[in-house]
Chain A
Amino acid sequence: MAYKPSMRRSGMTADIELDIKPVMNLMVVLIPLLLAGVEMVKLSIVEIDLPPASAGAGKGDEKDPEKEKEKKLGLKIAITMDGISLATAGTVLTGEEGEGPTIPAQATGEQDLDMLKEKLVELKKAIAEKGFKDKNTAIITAGKDIEYQVIISVLDAIQSYKDDAGDIQPLFPQVNFGQVVI
């Protein structure tokens, strides 16, 4: 007598489904939570480190012979409505026409940041081997009515440049602010 064929084949193949309800619950909670923490706008900061107030004006007058020997570049960048003027401790850079700001503003009233960068890169290369103490520092002053956005754009422009090899080099990343004394 032959064996009875196995019944396994015809046996109930139960349709097993994953129970994803708990996972769904988790998702429903997690997604709103993460959505709340998402950065919609990426923020960044411009760092300006001034010396503490107590070490400011008072001590500045004392003449330290050691310090006086240090070579200072003293780069100043003055922003006005007409354009940007550059000056170092010794000289004031003049514009193409001999007078007025070093970099005249464009006809649209916007500042010519590309030209500013060009001039500063030139300057940076010229002073590269001279051993100035403050070769990364610039003092920014601006006219009363200059908008904040213009100042930030100038800070961006003077931060870094690409050298001939294509590497990014610091231009004048350390910034100080001053006020125009008339």
Chain B
Amino acid sequence: MAFRPSKSKKHNTQLQGTLNMNSMMDMMTIILLFLLKSYSTSGALATQSESLKLPVSMRTTKPKKELNVAVAKDVILVNEQPVMSTGDVPPNEIIIPQLELKLREYAQRERELEIEVGKEFTHEVIIQGDESITYELLFRVMYTCGQSEFNKMRLLTVSSPPTE
């Protein structure tokens, strides 16, 4: 005679384990709040790399998104597009012709936008320079910007306010 299947064992298998998620929820809530607090809507303005290390400054003025001229150790970029190599900067002129050409293009586009859709031409340009570029190069880049209608320059720096 066969045994009758055990009733208690049959019920055993139906026991359901639930994951205790309380602590995980706590953690998630804290992370979420922290991230919300440090969230910026403007997105990343600059990507630092080996050849573009921004200098450190004590200032805390927040940057806005504008036309972006980056002077890395070996290349000059306008809005992340490489324009020329720093080696090609003419040694005897203050102005940098290739850069000026590109900037005038952007200025022209900005002016067209101002007429067509009413977006104000701010004349602002963000200059990101590597901390080790020379004053001569920096001055030329700034002069070129000034000559191509971008006369409000913002030097981008990494902010480290003095700790007191």
Contacts and interface: CB of A to CB of B under 8 A. Distances in A.
A179 interface: yes
A46 interface: yes
Contact of A179 (B46, B62, B94): B94
Interface in B9-41: 18, 21, 24-25, 28, 31-32, 35-36, 38-41
A145 B134 contact: yes
Contacts of B43: 37
A24 B163 CA distance: 39
Contacts of B133: 147-148
B149 A20 contact: no
A43 B35 contact: no
Q: How large is the interface on B (under 10, 10 to 19, 20 to 34, 35 or more residues)?
A: 35 or more
Main secondary structure of the interface of A (DSSP, over half): mixed
B138 A148 contact: yes
Q: How large is the interface on A (under 10, 10 to 19, 20 to 34, 35 or more residues)?
A: 35 or more
A148 B43 CA distance: 25
Given A27-B32, A38-B35, A39-B38, A44 B57 contact: yes
Given A145-B136, A149-B132, A179-B139, 8 more contacts: A27-B28, A46-B61, A46-B154, A47-B153, A48-B152, A147-B131, A147-B132, A147-B133
Interface of B: 18, 21, 24-25, 28, 31-32, 35-36, 38-41, 43-46, 48, 54-63, 94, 123, 126, 129-136, 138-139, 142, 146-149, 151-160
